Amino acid sequence: MTQDRSDAWPVLRTQAQLGEGPVWCGRRNRLFWTDILGQSFSQFDPTTGQNTTITLDDPLCAFALMADGRFLCAFAHCIAIMDATGGREPALYRLTGEDPANRFNDGKCDARGRFWIGTMNTQGKRGLGALYRFDPDGTLHRMWDGLSTSNGLGWSPDGHVFYLTDSPTGQIHAFDFDPDQGRISRQRCFARIPADIGRPDGLCVDTRGYVWSAIWDGARVLRFAPDGTIDREIHLPVPRPTSVAFGGPGLTRLYVTSCRGGLDAATLERHPLSGSLFALDPGVQGRPEPLAAF
């Protein structure tokens, strides 16, 4: 396993309470990301270093780019379309049939533009979350139950393996994926991260099929080979990296969001960059995130 201890640097020194969900837009040359607890939505311009932020009425938990420049968004309890100014259309779907303390969490689109989004319990109760598929016709399908915190997700380059993180259990699951039908099957454990290392959070998959995972309370990003073994470890100057996304020219730069919410004063004094946005050049290429077909 290769260890990189000084590759990452802060491209944006900020104080996100729960920075999450980075998505690169090549057309705009911007990295979009959300601060869930801070209830804000940002776009970072790596050319100028400027970060433009809008304040939201609700926590924005996940989003996907749309062809017309808008965003398909999972807020805490609904799915709705939002424009770059924060203007929001009526909800396409409202979360029902779950524990009252549940909310949406991480989500992404598959290659057909279907939005996959999971839920989590905000009171820390385990096994109450689920994974959903939201189709362009407005129908929602419950795909998997028993999750604790449905988190980072992604697909193999050939589109036939689906990855899904359940953070409190320390597991990244793998499933067979049917791209035509949008179905998952044959669930198995892809990787299990010991609690003393941290908890897996957001993930992305590079062009070689390697899985990159931000490790919450682990101050690192891990890269997993397609067989689930750890082959690379990148240390960060913050304890709670939250998610990862490739961006920049050729999708060769890896961006990492982080969190400062919930950290005590002593920890923040030791790790003052908590909540900042980081970048590194890992020498591999990422893949563009599919657009939402809505």
Point out the annotated binding site: 20, 103, 105, 151, 201
Give the annotated binding-site residues for a divalent metal cation.
Answer: 20, 151, 201
Tokens read off for 126: 């385990």
* Torsion region of 67: left, alpha or beta (phi above 0 gives left; psi -120 to 50 gives alpha): alpha
What is the rounded radius of gyration, in angstroms, for the C-alpha atoms of the chain?
Answer: 17
Give the annotated binding-site residues for substrate.
Answer: 103, 105
- Catalytic, 201? Answer yes
- Pairing mode, if any, of strands 102-109 and 115-121? antiparallel
**236: helix, strand or coil:** coil
Q: Is the torsion defined by CA of 75, 81, 84, 86 positive or negative?
A: negative
Q: Which residues contact 257 (CB under 8 A, 6 or more apart)?
A: 16, 19, 20, 21, 22, 33, 202, 214, 241, 242, 243, 244, 277, 278
- Catalytic one among 35, 106, 110, 201? 201
Count CB neighbours of 85 within 10 A. Answer: 8
Tokens read off for 233: 């470890």
For the annotated catalytic residues, the residue numbers are 201
